[in-house]
Structure 1
Amino acid sequence: MSGSNFECVDRPWQNHYGQGTNCELENFEYNNLAEMVAKNSDRWKDRTAYHMILPNGMDKMITFAETEALSNYFAVYLREELKLKVGDRVAIQLPNCLAYPIVVFGCYKAGLAIVNANPLYTAHEMQHQFLDSGAKVLVIIDMFSDKLKQVIPNTKIEKVVLVSVADLFSLHKKILIKSVLKYVRKQIPTCEVHSVPFEETLKTGKRILNENNIDVINYWITVTLDDICALQYTGGTTGISKGAMLTHRNIIANMYQIIEMGKSKITNGQEVLLTVLPLYHIFAFTVNLITFFKVGGISVLIPNPRPLTNIKKAFEKADITWISGVNTLFNGLLNEKWFSENPPIHLKASIAGGAALHKAVSERWLKVTNTSVVEGYGLTETSPVVCFNPINGVVKSDTVGVPVPSTDILLINEEGKSVPIGEEGEIAVKGPQVMLGYWQRPEETSKVLKDGWMLTGDIAVMDQDGYIKIVDRKKDMILVSGFNVYPNEVEDCIAKLPGVGEVAVIGIPNERTSEAVKAFIVKKDSDLSEKQVIEHCKKFITAYKVPKFVEFRIELPKSPIGKILRKNLRAEELSKPHNE
């Protein structure tokens, strides 16, 4: 592929951003994320930054000023007590809790890079990620510490910091929460490796600061925009999990891009954002943790949103103005009577990402809440936002919007040539949010980064206004007798059927047609039949796209952010004899 194939000569989407949106990012205010945190902690110091709400309604708030002080203590602990150096990596394996932002911001203030890890990882997945990243410290929730004895000896981790969801709560609430988790629910195992409690690290850092009479810490003063701030591991669906090297520039650029696209509905110092998606996931990390900190918003932290009744108290105790989520969250809330009968009255807008937003869901959401849920698109490798529906401009509900400021998109064919408007092609992205590459994997990097462009593996169509409609993942495409079938289209069709709760569509081996379309459905109406599903599909999509097989299930496999995992369903099917 030559560089000439990757020249974007036109940006039709810039005419649709809406009034007041900057088409290009201007000079950054900050040299790194630590500076962003320090300056905005001071700007919003008296305002609540984080409000953690448990399912029983027990809650705790911390201010921007408290976040600043506590993250400073943690930074001092990391540098002075543990003797970490600029560029060292710290693995963080936490749910949404008050410790999470303090740990992340503390790492940045110490000049370190973070390695986000899913708390639900198996021991094998933990070992791979910790060893691959070279992390020296692990900060982990106590609920999953039973895996550490098996994992730690096979990594370079020198110190384990143990966090409780009750950390930073008042003493009597802390005792109550820990007692219930440990003795009633039996969710706190014995940690069999040497560890230090998180609150003890804060006390140590505070003591060192006081003993040395230090007013300001400046470990991060030499950190630049081009230094790595995070190794964000991909899901590993195409093989072994790889660490995307994201820089301070990548995340800060994406922060500004998100603000530009949503600023007509963002009032500095007044927003309240529901944080249901796990902060270790790149979507919530950049949108909820970073962007809303910059604008002085309150993040309402939900440690575990399952079942969805766990979120009910958050809507009762906080005046939610924004929600970020995935299709399954919005669909699930709409199916909760307590939500649909009493939708949040302060809600301004909601952001969907991570998986395709079904049109039926977005239409119902608008009807129930009288607000829009707007879809965006991104990848771990792009920090993550690439496209977003301009809230201040024209929203096209069946698209993922337009490229964000300072971002170019080309749709290319197999030969690397750009395709005409209206034709399908693979999305190639160029912008300041695109990663450096994959950590210690130059061959994998060279496959996706070409002449500064990131090849996404996603197939899309662009209209004349520059709006992007994702057709599907290249690897999820189903080939039926030589015809391309995209699961998103079939799923969207089936989701319009009133009796359908959730749906996933995959291709399964078929000797006559190469592959056949199979739909997996969770019923909302117990009377729903296979015949009804097929007859419904025949009305709206061409014959070769209509599911040949329909299977009803109690639930569908999902990722931690609630994204339905087609790959798990596909793996199950591949283990069976081929369907005729």
Structure 2
Amino acid sequence: MLDLGTSFIASVERDPTALAICDGDLELTYEVWFGKVSALVAGLDEIGLKPGDHVLTILQNRWENASLHWACQLAGLIVTPLNWRAKPEEIDFTIEDAEAKLVVFEAITAGAVAQSNKAANLPRLTLGEAADGIQSLSAMMEASAPDASPRAKADDWSLMLYTSGTTSKPKGVPRRHHAERAAAIAHVAQNLYRHGECTLGVMPLYHTMGVRSLLASSVIGGNFVCLPRFDVEGALATIERRSVTNLYLVPTLYHDILHHENFAKDRVASVTKLGFAGASMTDGLMTKLQKAFEPELFVNHYGSSEVYTFTIDQNAPAKPGSAGRAGINQRVRVVPLGAKDASTPAKVDEEGEIIVALQGDESFEGYWNRPEADKKSLREGWYFTGDTGFFDKDGDLFVTGRADDMIITGGENVSPVEVESCLSLHPHVVEVAVVGLPDERWGKIVTAFVKRSAPVEVDDLDAHCKTSGLANFRRPRAYVFVEDIPKSPVGKLLRRKLVAGEYAVEAGSHAERQTALS
């Protein structure tokens, strides 16, 4: 297996004059881009970085960020990216946990970096002009330097992402060059990417989906089109201007694009492939996307930062809710909830915990300095995901949510995803999220938070659930009409905020409306 630096050079040699990256009006071919990446490698050398050092990046999806990612691969450095919205204390934690040797930031993240106590003791690079002892990454790339040679091997560390911590500190997920490249090649194969495809680079480069898009684009000699920060009109304009051919997004971004006032089918006519990951997609949204885009391929990709691909369904609309079958580098099982090992699989249609094999080419090997997390999640060669789901009689996997999100009401288990998919098919439901809220009699009651497009009432939604065939015990017993559904920066639904009451009730609406418990 090639290391990623060698892989990038192979792409340069294969397609030197092909368009490699765009950012606004900037356009760089592979050979020109390689020159700037090489200059950046030389600049990192001058700072004194050594192979194996962590480089903490706090950047949006700019071409400079993508360039730095490749420079680190060539130099044998470990890219350690943070959300550009990170707070000073999060920066401090990451610097200490990863033992970072360099911090790279831009204007929008400069304030947080300036307030970080630990960043002040490290070399720092910024986009734009150098100032106050902080060097300019932009200036580095304008310098002249010999073509960089790869210094890393396939089994060296490439990247360390941090998983979001909801109840504890984030966990570092270190991944080796060979795992990253295997995941990129599998991504190309499973999404049927052609040579020279044009990818919208909007998923953050601190997220596994964004990194995968960047690496896969290189493998196919494609054009990676940067969109530093997601906004719908910006995305539509970029798709139209650059004739983007494939989209790989979380469902929330698809929802926002599709429901924007300026969306038009002819603006996205170049797009032939849709892929989604990061969260389940409701049946309603999937139906609308299929009609609006009429894609050649519509892929549901289910995975994680730790193991990238779990399963793939290359025809998602044909079986809504199905996550498909194991990816080309993977084995997947469902075991009964609470199982301590992988020895006894769950029965067909029996909901349990989804586990995946660690021997797969895309897998990580354990968390960074977190033996307690390894003990919980890594058992006898299997990764216990914490996700719940089941295999149907055809052998297709259905993901029902997180074990922690399961609603136990009156002794029955209710998956929020199933209820959300049902309600999403109502024509006046724009978005919906379902959680369990405490109830003296039932333990928890199924509660639906709904963003509506028209004044649909509780009785209408309850009738919709009944006629849709949703089991009686799964029907929501309470509805809350809200202005927006809370989400993370990458579009993941934040159920915990709804449980904690962190939401805005729709103007003029009652905070909560109860349905009959019959």
Question: TM-score normalized by structure 2?
Answer: 0.91
- Report the counterpart of residue 420 of structure 1 in structure 2: 347
Q: Does the C-alpha gap of structure 1 residues 284 and 149 become closer, same or farther in structure 2, counting only changes over 3 Å?
A: closer
2:227 is matched with which residue: 281, 296, 302? 302
Q: CA deviation at 1:252?
A: 1.1
For the pair 1:248 / 2:177, whether they are aligned, the reply is yes
| Equivalent in 33, 37, 48 of residue 4 of structure 2 | 33
1:549 aligns with 478
Alignment of 1:277-426 (within 5 A): 277-286=203-212, 288-306=213-231, 308-371=232-295, 372-382=297-307, 384-390=308-314, 396-413=319-336, 414-415=338-339, 416=341, 417-426=344-353
1:145, distance to aligned residue in structure 2 (A): 0.5
Match in the other structure for 2:113: 148
Aligned to 1:182: none
8 Å CA contact retained: 1:130, 1:157: no
Identity of aligned residues (%): 26
User: Is residue 494 of structure 2 the alignment partner of residue 528 of structure 1?
Assistant: no
TM-score using structure 1 length: 0.82
The CA RMSD over aligned residues, in Å, is: 2.4
- CA drift at 1:390: 3.3
Task: Specify the alignment match of 2:96 in structure 1.
Answer: 131
Distance 1:64 1:395, change over 3 A: farther
1:86 is displaced (CA, Å) by 0.9
Maintained 8 Å contact 1:146/1:192: no
Partner of residue 508, structure 2: none
Residues 58-77 of structure 1: pairs in structure 2 closer than 5 A? 59-77=25-43
Residue 102 in 1 paired to residue 67 in 2? yes
**The one of 3, 14, 27 aligned to 1:43:** 14
Q: Which residue of 1 aligns with 2:77?
A: 112
Q: 1:321 to 1:341 in 2, by over 3 A?
A: closer
- 3-state secondary structure, aligned to 1:522: strand
CA contact (8 A) 2:333 2:356 kept: yes
Task: Note closer, same or farther for the CA distance 1:439–1:193 as it changes in structure 2 (3 Å cut).
Answer: farther
Displacement of 1:532 after TM fit? 2.1
1:217 aligned partner, one-letter code: A
Higher helix share: 1
Aligned counterparts of 2:435 and 2:121: Cα–Cα separation in 1: 40
CA distance in 1, matches of 2:36, 2:391: 47
- Tell me the amino acid that sits aligned with residue 270 of structure 2: H
**C-alpha contact 1:262 1:390 (8 A) present in aligned 2:** yes
Measured in 2, the distance between the counterparts of 1:102 and 1:543 equals: 54
Indicate the residue corresponding to 2:509 in structure 1: none
Aligned match of 1:559: 488
Match of residue 538 from structure 1:
466
Matched, 1:195 2:134: yes
Check 1:193–1:246 CA distance in 2 against 1; reply closer, same or farther (3 A cut): farther
Aligned to 1:86: 51
Counterpart AA for 2:466: K
| Alpha-carbon offset, residue 394 of structure 1 | 10
How far has the Cα of 1:336 moved from its partner? Answer: 2.3
Amino acid at match of 1:429: V
Aligned equivalent of 2:506: none
SS of 2:278 mapped into structure 1:
coil
Once the two structures are superposed, what CA deviation does each residue of 1:362-391 show, in whole Å capped at 9, x if it has no partner? Answer: 111111111153211011111x22211136
Query: Take 2:189 and 2:301, find their aligned partners in 1: how far apart are those partners?
Result: 14
Do the aligned partners of residues 398 and 126 (structure 1) sit closer, same or farther apart at CA in structure 2, a change above 3 Å counting? same
| Secondary structure in structure 2 of the residue aligned to 1:401 | strand
- Partner residue of 2:125? 161
Q: Which amino acid aligns with 2:233?
A: T
Distance 1:292 1:410, change over 3 A: same
CA contact (8 A) 1:374 1:397 kept: no
Residue deviations 1:72-115 (CA, integer Å, cap 9, x gap): 11111112x11111100001111111101111111111111010
Give the 3-state SS of the residue equivalent to 1:381 in structure 2.
Answer: coil
Question: More displaced, 308-317 or 81-90?
Answer: 308-317
Q: CA deviation at 1:488?
A: 0.6
Contact in 2 for aligned 1:508/1:573 (Cα 8 Å): no
C-alpha deviation, 1:343, in angstroms: 4.6
Q: Which string of whole-angstrom CA distances, capped at 9 and with x for unpartnered residues, describes residues 132-170 of structure 1?
A: 11111111121120122321x335852111125xx9xxx
The C-alpha deviation readout for 1:226-277, integer Å capped at 9, x for no partner, is 22111110011242101011111211111122222222xx2212x1112222
Deviations along 1:434-464, whole A, 9 cap, x unmatched? 1111101112112111122111001111134
CA distance in 1, matches of 2:133, 2:423: 52
Check the 8 A contact 1:278/1:560 in 2, yes or no: no
Equivalent residue, structure 2, for 1:17: none
Deviations 1:410-445 (A, max 9, x none): 111123321123322211111121111110111211
Q: Structure 1 474/129 Cα, relative in aligned 2: closer, same or farther at 3 Å?
A: same
How far the C-alpha of 1:298 sits from its partner, in A, is 1.1
CA distance in 1, matches of 2:132, 2:450: 43
Give distance in 1, aligned partners of 2:424 and 2:75: 48
In structure 2, do the counterparts of structure 1 residues 363 and 490 end up closer, same or farther at CA, with 3 Å as the change threshold? same
Distance 1:311 1:262 in 2: 21
Distance change >3 Å, CA 33–CA 395, structure 1 → 2: farther
Task: Give the whole-Å Cα distance in 1 for the aligned partners of 2:256 and 2:331.
Answer: 34
Structure 1 gaps of 5+ residues are 1-27, 54-58, 168-190, 210-214
Deviations 1:34-92 (A, max 9, x none): 11111112212211111223xxxxx221221122111111111112x111111000011
Q: For residues 36 and 238 of structure 1, what CA distance do their matches in structure 2 show? A: 38
CA distance in 2, matches of 1:144, 1:531: 47
3-state SS, counterpart of residue 366 of structure 2:
coil
Amino acid of the structure 2 residue aligned with 1:516: I
